[in-house]
Amino acid sequence: MSATENDPFLVNVIDVSHRTGEEIELHREFPVPEQLGEGFAKVLAGTPMTLDLRLDGLHDGILVAGNVHTTATSECVRCLDPLEIPVQVDFQELFPYSPTEDFDYTVHENHVNCEPVVRDAVVLSLPFQPLCDEGCWGLDPETGKKLNGPRAEQDAPIDPRWAALQALNTEKTGE
């Protein structure tokens, strides 16, 4: 079994390496080897991922352009309902033949490793505070049930520490 069969992110570039103008396209579907992301939203290990790549041979390296499709899981930060968030992200990275300080990645033994590029693209595309709906009202602080609209102020109990002030306010307004 070759290295590319073990690692879905490792791509053999022998067909475009040092061949300016050559291009190949690859399509890969595989389960995500390890979790992507550590915040509220994350792509769990084993989640199906589709990776479409286009590799272009250039004079000084290989340009890898890609598109990633997968699904992230999360909870709404307001009401805690479970969420599945579709993730579609594009990326582009130059892998030079010779290592330099200008580039983070290089071609190594006729292979490019797209894992860090894909990881960065996916993690940066995940929402920081995922919501089930932009109009989500969250949870009622008293009952813990999901609110369907704004909480009525008259339903809110008065904090006993402020009851004396409430009594003064009632006397003043004559209620």
Q: What is the pLDDT of residue 88?
A: 96
Pairing of strands 111-113, 10-12: antiparallel
Beta partners for residue 40, in sequence order: none
Q: For residues 25 and 89, what is the distance between their CA atoms, to the nearest angstrom?
A: 17
Inter-CA distances, 156 with 4, 146, 150, 153, Å? 61, 16, 12, 5
Q: What is the pLDDT of residue 127?
A: 92
Q: What is the pLDDT of residue 1?
A: 35
Q: What are phi and psi of 154, to 5 degrees?
A: -70, -20
- Chain mean position to CA 5: 25
- pLDDT by 10s per residue, the chain, length 175: 344 457 888 888 878 877 777 888 999 999 999 999 988 899 999 999 999 999 998 888 889 999 999 999 999 999 999 999 999 999 999 888 877 766 677 788 888 899 999 999 999 999 999 999 888 888 888 788 888 777 655 455 677 787 777 777 666 665 5
* Both tokens assigned to 60: 């000084």
First to last CA, the chain: 83
Q: What is the pLDDT of residue 92?
A: 94
* Both tokens assigned to 48: 């199906």
Strand blocks (E) in 18-164: 23-31, 48-57, 61-75, 82-96, 111-113
